[in-house]
Structures are given as C-alpha cells and as structure tokens.
Amino acid sequence: MNPTLILMIGGGLTLILLVVGGVVALADRRSVIDERIERYGSGTTAAVATAPAGGGARTSFLGDQLDQVLSRRGFAPGIKAQLARADLKLNVGEYLALVVICAIGTGAVFTVLNGSMFIGILAGIGGAFLPRFYVRARMRGRLRRFDDQLSDMINLAVNGLRAGYSIMQALESVGREMPAPISTEFRRVVQEMQLGVSMEGALDNLLRRIPSEDLDLMVTAVNIQREVGGNLADVLETISFTIRERVRIKGEIRVLTSQQSFSGYLLSGLPFALAGVLFLVNRPYMLTFVAPESRVLGIPMLVAAALLIAAGYFVMRKIVDIDV
C-alpha cells in the first residue's frame, strides 16, 4: 500500500476524532455544579473514590456515551483508579480514545518515514502504550510529592487539635494552607464528609486514590482513635516523626542507588539507541532482520534481544529497590 495513502488515512481518522470530540465538548452546556451534584449525589462511595480529585472538569457527550459502554467492562475500574490517582480529568472512554489516537498517529508517521508497514505496526503498538506510561509517571510523581508533604500535614493537624479544633476543622485547615496535591485530596475528604460520607469512608476513599503506606498508618491511627479514644494529637505526632525519618532514609537510599539506577537506564537504552543510529547510517543492514529471506531468524532474534534487555532492566531495578 502507498505510504502516502496510509498517512492520509491515519491522519484523517485522527483529525476526525479530534474535531468530533472538540465540537461535542463545546456543545455540552452542563454546568460544573450539575456535574458535582451528579457525581456526589449518587450515594455510592465507590464512585467518589475513583473520580478525579479536581472535580471541576467538563466532560463531553461523546465521551460520556463511550464511557457508559466501556464502564461495564471488567478493566474499567482499574483504569478509573489509575486516572484518579494521577489526577487526570478523563473518563475511561476518553482515555481509550486517546490510546487509539496515539496508536494510529504514531503508526502512520513511522510508516511514512520508513516506508515499511511492519515498522509502522510496531510503532503503533508502542504508541498505544504512551498514555499508560504518562499516567504511571504522573501517579508516581504525585505519590512522591504527597509522601513528602504528609509529615508537615500531620504537624499542622496536630497543632490544630491542640488549639481546640475538631478533626474535621483540622483537615479543613490542611486543605486551605497546604500546597497541592495534599491540599486537594484533604479538601475533597472534607467535601465528602459534608455530603454525608462517614469519616472512615472518606479516609478509605483517600487511601484508594493515594496508595501510600505512610498515609495508611495515619488513617489506621485515626480510625482506631475514633473507636477506642485516646490522645490523637500525641499519636499523630509520633506517626509524623516516624514518617519524617522514613522520608529521610528513602532520600538517602535514593542518593546512594542513583548510580545503579542510571546504569540500568543507560544499559537498557543503549541497544535501542545503537539500533537507531545503525538504521540511519546503514538502513539495508538493519532491514536484513525483517527481509523476506531472513525474517524467520531475524524477527525471533529481535524479540529475544528485547526480552533479554527487559529482563536485565527489571533485575537491576529489583536490586536497587530497597524497602524501608
């Protein structure tokens, strides 16, 4: 098939999806208040736990219809949880549409640049994973920032409790005075409690959105104190000191293992960089792996090399992954 025709088809499909999504989004006139009432008025804590933390984004009619169809699938809850943890204002339908757009666009571009359908298919498969990598990177970065802020948040809550605040007033002060993302999450906890969700349920929802071991320790202490009583300020102060020490030790371990981590990235990416340079310098030599007369051995060799590189990368990551 003509590479130019493939590019035109792929670009046309991508453009149609973007235009339709944009037009429908502009035509949607639902207010932010209506969306919040619809989300929080359902009475189910599961829906609250997996919704994005911002709460003010508009959704399109097309995205809502696609999301209703896909929400019945078994993979939808996992995707919703990941989007909520990354604080992305997307539903399942919009996320999967983005995956399709990335796959089609990447495959079409590489097909035209290389003139090979096989390369285009491989690039399309890789492009489909780009949104997943982005979501996971946002999840890790947001979780790291949350853990770094948690100790200061607990100190602020302890000061509020000792000043005579209730636990809800202390959490409100956290939502007002702390930076994001911890202020966003605890402000949402307060909103859920104001809408009728119990404190235990709101904190459990927070723990689903932020799967942090340090946060789990704090939530457990609060729930136990509500059942058996005790001085919550002293308990939280002890937990704050423990979390602060864990963060310090994790930082020291991250510094000491940074060289090994960088070596893993370098050794894993070097074969791909070398293959790219050889492809630009001597394209016929690299295309020998996928040539009709040698692809029986060439393609298994490429797959085996990729698997060995991935195995080596994960082994190096496991070595430097020290649990504290």
Per-residue DSSP letter, 181:
T
Per-residue DSSP letter, 289:
G
Tens digit of pLDDT for each residue in 246-301?
Answer: 888 888 888 888 888 888 888 888 988 888 888 888 888 888 888 888 888 888 88
Domain borders along the chain are 3-112, 142-249, 257-324
Residue 100 has pLDDT above 70, yes or no: yes
CATH topology of domain 142-249: Receptor-associated Protein (1.20.81)
Q: In the prediction, which pLDDT does 235 show?
A: 87
* 62's tokens: 């097309």
Give residue for tokens 């539903």.
91
Maximum distance among all Cα pairs of the chain, rounded to whole angstroms:
80
Of 7, 20, 26, 11, the closest CA to residue 93 belongs to 20
Q: At what angle do helices 3-27 and 92-114 cross, to 10 degrees?
A: 160
**Is residue 44 within a helix (H) or strand (E), and if so which, with residue range?**
none
Please, what's the b/e burial string for 115-134 (b: 16 or more CB within 10 A of its CB; e: otherwise)?
ebeebbebbbeebbeebeee
Q: In the prediction, which pLDDT does 214 show?
A: 86
Rg, Å, the chain Cα set = 25
Q: In the prediction, which pLDDT does 43 show?
A: 46
Residue 91 has pLDDT above 70, yes or no: yes
More confident residue, 103 or 31: 103
Q: How far is CA 301 from CA 124, 266, 290, in A?
A: 21, 21, 10
Q: In the prediction, which pLDDT does 28 show?
A: 44
Instruction: Give me the amino acid identity at 312.
Output: G
Give residue for tokens 């619809």.
38
Residue 15 has pLDDT above 70, yes or no: no
Tens digit of pLDDT for each residue in 186-235?
Answer: 999 999 998 888 888 999 989 888 888 888 988 988 888 888 877 888 88
Contact 17, 101 (CB under 8 A): yes
pTM of the full predicted structure?
0.67
Class of residue 229 by CB neighbours under 10 A (exposed 0-12, middle 13-18, buried 19+): exposed
**Alpha-helical segments (H) within the chain:** 3-27, 32-40, 45-49, 61-70, 76-86, 92-114, 117-128, 130-162, 167-177, 182-194, 199-209, 213-228, 232-256, 258-281, 283-286, 295-320
More confident residue, 45 or 85: 85
Give the Cα separation of 93 and 13 in Å (integer): 17
Give the Cα separation of 295 and 272 in Å (integer): 19
Q: In the prediction, which pLDDT does 297 show?
A: 85
